[in-house]
Chain A
C-alpha cells in the first residue's frame, strides 16, 4: 500500500487536522516506523502547496500527542511508542465520543462492533 497523505476539501476537518490525522494513520499502519524521518515543514508545505504555518501546526499537534519528536535543525522523526505519555483515559476519550455518536445515530451494538473491527483492520499495522 502506498504512503499517501490525503487532503479532502469536502472534509469538515481543518487541513492541519487532516494532515496530522493522515500522519497518525501512517504511523498506526506501520508505514512510518519508529525513527523514520518526516519531511521538513518547509518541504511538506511546498510539496502540498499549503501555507507553512498549517504544516507547522499539524506537526506541533503530533508532537503534543507524543507521536513525533521535533529536533530543531535536523527535522522530525517518528517517536518510540513508549514515549507516548498520554493516559488511558485520554486515549479512550475520542473513541467514547465516536461510539456515542454512533449510538445516538441509532446504530445497533453488533453493527458498531463490526464497524470497529473493520476500521481497526484497516488502521492497525499490516500483518498484525
Chain B
C-alpha cells in the first residue's frame, strides 16, 4: 500500500470515530435524566418549551466541525495533496474539542433562566483538599524510563548518522521531525503538570463523590497525555530506522509502520470509549452544585482574556463564557510554549 492510501484509510477511520463521538455528545445534555440539562437542574416541562430550541441549537453546533471538514477535504482530494489530510485531522481534533466546550458552556448559560429555583442557591459550604499531589505520584517509572530511553537512543543514533557524513545530510531533514516530536512531548509534560496541580473546591455535602470523580478524570487525562507522549517517542524512534533504510526496504517498512499505527489507533479509541463510559458512571454519583462566587467573576471577566492579579485563577467564569487570566503564572508559560511551537515550525519549515 502507498502512503497516500494509508492516510486516506486513517481519515476514514477518523470519520467513523467522530460519528460515535457525535452520538455521545448528543446524549450528553440528558445524561442525568429529564430533570437536568447538562449540569443545570431544569424546571418541569423544559424540554417541551424553551429547552427544545436550546437543545436543537446545541445539536446543530455539533455539526460545525463537519461544515469545516467536508469542503476542506474535498479541496484536498481534488488537489491530490493527500498528505494535507494529516494536518486537517490535527486541526479538526482541536476544533471539535473547542467547539464542544464552547457549545456546552453556551447551552448551559441559555438554560440558566429556566433552572429550577433551588439551583440558583449556591452550596453553603465548600471544601478544598490540601492533600499534596506531585507529578511523580501519577507517573509509571517503567513508562518514564522507556520513553526517556527511546528518545536518547533515537537521538544518539541520529547524531551518529549525521556525523558519519555531514556533507551529505541535511541537518534539518535529519533532526527536524524528531525535535518537533520532542517538543510535543515537553508540551504534554507541561499539560500533565497542570492537570496534576489543578484544584477546585467541591461542595462539602458530597465531597467524597466529587473527589472520586475528579481523581478518576485526572487519571484519565494523564493517561491520554502518556499515550500521546508514547506515540511521539515511537515516532522519534522510527525516524532513524526510516533514515537508514535502503530504498528497497523503505516501502515495506512504511507499510508495517502504518499498519501498527492503525492497530494502536483502534485499540486506544476502544480504551478511550470504555473509560469514558466508566467515568460517566462515577460522575453521575456526584450531583453538580453551584459554588459560591466570592470574587464576582462575572464582573471581572468581561473579555476572553483578562488580567486580574488579585484573583489568580487561570480561567475566570464570566457572564459570557470563560476568560483566560494572564495574571496566572501558567498563562505566560503556555503562551511561551505556543510561541516556541510557531518558531520551531518556522525554523524547520515543516510541510515544505
Interface of A toward B, CB cutoff 8 Å: 2-10, 15, 26, 31-32, 37-39, 42-43, 45-54
- Contact pattern, B 201-237, Cβ under 8 Å of A = 1, otherwise 0: 1001001100100000000000000000000000000
Could you say which interface size class chain B belongs to?
A: 20 to 34
Q: Which residues of A contact B310 (CB under 8 A)?
A: 51-53
Given contacts A2-B131, A26-B130, A47-B128, is CB(A7)–CB(B312) below 8 Å?
no
10 smallest CB-CB distances across A and B, nearest first, come from A47-B199, A4-B127, A8-B125, A3-B130, A46-B312, A46-B313, A6-B127, A3-B131, A5-B128, A42-B312
- Does B110 sit within 8 A of A, measured CB to CB? no
Q: Would B130 and A49 count as touching, CB distance under 8 A?
A: no
Q: Which residues of A contact B197 (CB under 8 A)?
A: 43
Q: Would B312 and A45 count as touching, CB distance under 8 A?
A: yes
Of B13-21, B49-57, B100-108, B287-295, which stretch is located at the interface? Answer: B287-295
Q: Which of B126, B129, B329 has the most CB of A within 10 A?
A: B126
At the interface, is chain A mostly helix, strand, loop or mixed?
Answer: mixed
Q: When the two chains form the complex, which single residue of B126, B130, B207, B328 contacts A46, counting CB atoms closer than 8 Å?
A: B328
Within 8 A of A (CB), among B286-333: 291-295, 297, 309-314, 328-329
- Does B91 sit within 8 A of A, measured CB to CB? no
Q: Would A49 and B201 count as touching, CB distance under 8 A?
A: yes
- Does B33 sit within 8 A of A, measured CB to CB? no
**How many Å from the CB of A12 to the closest CB on chain B?**
13
- Does B132 sit within 8 A of A, measured CB to CB? yes
Q: Which residues of A contact B313 (CB under 8 A)?
A: 46, 49
Q: Which residues of B contact A48 (CB under 8 A)?
A: 128, 201, 294
Given contacts A2-B207, A47-B201, A53-B310, is CB(A7)–CB(B126) below 8 Å?
yes
- Does B112 sit within 8 A of A, measured CB to CB? no
Q: Which residues of A contact B45 (CB under 8 A)?
A: none
- Does B260 sit within 8 A of A, measured CB to CB? no
In the complex, 27 of the A-B residue pairs with CB atoms within 8 angstroms, ordered by the A residue number, are: A2-B131, A3-B130, A4-B127, A5-B127, A5-B130, A6-B126, A6-B204, A7-B125, A7-B126, A7-B127, A9-B292, A15-B294, A31-B130, A42-B329, A43-B312, A46-B311, A47-B128, A47-B199, A49-B201, A49-B291, A49-B297, A49-B313, A50-B294, A51-B295, A52-B309, A52-B310, A53-B310
Q: Which residues of B contact A54 (CB under 8 A)?
A: 294
Q: Would A47 and B124 count as touching, CB distance under 8 A?
A: no
- Does B340 sit within 8 A of A, measured CB to CB? no
